[in-house]
Amino acid sequence: MWRNRDVISARDFTRPELEELFETARYMEKYSKGRLDVMRGKIMAVAFFEPSTRTRLSFEVAMKRLGGDVVGFWGAEGTSVEKGETLADTIRMLDAYSDVIVIRHRYEGAAKLAAEVAESPIINGGDGAFNHPTQAMLDVYTIWREFGYVDGLNIGLLGDLRHARTVNSLLEILTNFNVKVHLISPEYLRPRTETIDYVQSKGLKLSFYTNVEEVIGELDVMYVVRIQKERFIDPLEYEKVKGSYRVTPDMLRKAKKTLIILHPLPRVDEIDPRVDATSHAKYFRQAALGVPLRMALIYLILS
Ligand code: NCD
């Protein structure tokens, strides 16, 4: 099911495939601070044209824990992209030098283009405002690890739901599960119509709010994203919505005891650091699970 697959969009994966990924990641947790030598002789190339901490490092660490090697660059400085090389040519070279390529790019569609020119599998580490499929896999994996199941949960998404690629991919992947999704944002920051139409056509139940207080008591999961300043076309629109929500200990007094808060990170000011010490805060665990989840992905695609 996974062998040699490109991972471009969350839409491409079925529930049995996700379950296989999660079971494999669960197994990989035993080795995520150790070593499982199953990728010896394999090379992963990382081509990150946009900033990243967790996605890049967890992919690199995952490959190293599996006994493989990593080459690549982050930022185009020092590469021939500075001389005007096209993305397609850069990818062709990485394809010749490695067994799998992880790419992050500010333009939507970059990963798909890479997959068209490369023979090796391409993994999308985030392109533009639209796709971040491996983050969405990690998000659902974290929920599954926390609760032991996903079906039946009430999942709130809070923040910049329009420009956050993690939100778009998460909505798409949640169509595989029987969950209720509560979208909480200023009206201007609701997900794109195209995404809403797609996930509703797949049967995902959505409801919309502008105020967290209206729904917080019902939620099992609250997934928070930062306002994606760099993706706003109009700076005035950014000024209008910045700082429009913030998760505080006070707000959480109305929440279920078992509510978990997730965030793909980096956070700016949308979660008060005082929340970190509460039993709700699971975003650091979520980031840590990125290693076993990505070990599982690499293993399933390359072995
Ligand atoms: C996110 C991204 O790059 O889309 N970070 C991540 O990969 N964990 C989220 C963000 O930048 O807000």
**CATH classification of the domain holding 92:** 3.40.50.1370
| Residues 269 and 139 grouped into a single domain | yes
C-alpha 55 – ligand 1 centre gap (Å) = 8
Q: Specify the residue with its C-alpha closest to ligand 1, atom 1.
A: 264
User: Length of the chain, please?
Assistant: 303
Radius of gyration of the chain measured on its C-alpha atoms: 19
pLDDT at 82: 72
C-alpha 70 – ligand 1 centre gap (Å) = 21
Looking at the domain assignment, is residue 215 inside a domain? yes
**Does 132 participate in catalysis according to the annotation?**
yes
| Residues 242 and 116 grouped into a single domain | no
Looking at the domain assignment, is residue 1 inside a domain? no
What is the signed CA dihedral for 150, 291, 191, 249, rounded to 10 degrees?
A: 80
Looking at the domain assignment, is residue 63 inside a domain? yes
pLDDT at 239: 87
C-alpha 147 – ligand 1 centre gap (Å) = 24
pLDDT at 217: 98
pLDDT at 78: 72
Round to whole Å and give the CA distance between 271 and 281: 10
C-alpha 102 – ligand 1 centre gap (Å) = 15
pLDDT at 94: 96
| Residues 107 and 204 grouped into a single domain | no
Least Cα distance to 222 among 159, 150, 134 occurs for 159
| Residues 155 and 248 grouped into a single domain | yes
Q: Residues 155, 174: contact at Cβ < 8 Å? A: yes
Looking at the domain assignment, is residue 4 inside a domain? no
pLDDT at 240: 83
Q: Which atom of ligand 1 is nearest to the CA of 166?
A: 4
Looking at the domain assignment, is residue 160 inside a domain? yes
122 secondary structure, DSSP code: E
| Residues 272 and 164 grouped into a single domain | yes
Q: Provide residues with CB under 6 Å of ligand 1.
A: 54-55, 126, 132, 135, 164-166, 225-226, 264-265
pTM of the model: 0.96
What tokens were used for 190?
């609701």
Catalytic residue among 42, 105, 132, 282: 132
Which contacts (CB < 8 Å, 24+ apart) does range 19-27 have?
20/300, 21/137, 21/141, 21/293, 21/296, 21/297, 21/300, 22/140, 22/141, 22/144, 22/296, 24/296, 24/299, 24/300, 25/141, 25/289, 25/292, 25/293, 25/295, 25/296, 26/145, 26/292, 27/296
Round to whole Å and give the CA distance between 253 and 243: 21
Q: Residues 175, 243: contact at Cβ < 8 Å? A: no
Domain of 55?
10-131+288-302
pLDDT at 100: 98
Q: Specify the residue with its C-alpha closest to ligand 1, atom 7.
A: 55
| Residues 137 and 282 grouped into a single domain | yes
| Residues 156 and 218 grouped into a single domain | yes
Catalytic residue among 5, 11, 26, 54: 54
Residue by residue, pLDDT tens for the chain (303 residues) are 999 999 999 999 999 999 999 999 999 999 999 999 999 999 999 999 998 999 999 999 999 999 999 999 888 777 777 777 889 999 999 999 999 999 999 999 999 999 999 999 999 999 999 999 999 999 999 999 999 999 999 999 999 999 999 999 999 999 999 999 999 999 999 999 999 999 999 999 999 999 999 999 999 999 999 999 988 888 888 888 887 789 999 999 999 999 999 999 999 999 999 999 999 999 999 999 999 999 999 999 999
Round to whole Å and give the CA distance between 14 and 202: 12
pLDDT at 235: 85
Looking at the domain assignment, is residue 144 inside a domain? yes
| Residues 83 and 159 grouped into a single domain | no
**Does 53 participate in catalysis according to the annotation?**
no
Domain count across the chain: 2
pLDDT at 79: 75
pLDDT at 74: 86
Looking at the domain assignment, is residue 81 inside a domain? yes
Round to whole Å and give the CA distance between 303 and 301: 6
| Residues 43 and 164 grouped into a single domain | no
| Residues 165 and 46 grouped into a single domain | no
| Residues 96 and 212 grouped into a single domain | no
93 Cβ contact partners less than 8 Å away, ≥ 6 residues apart: none
| Residues 21 and 122 grouped into a single domain | yes
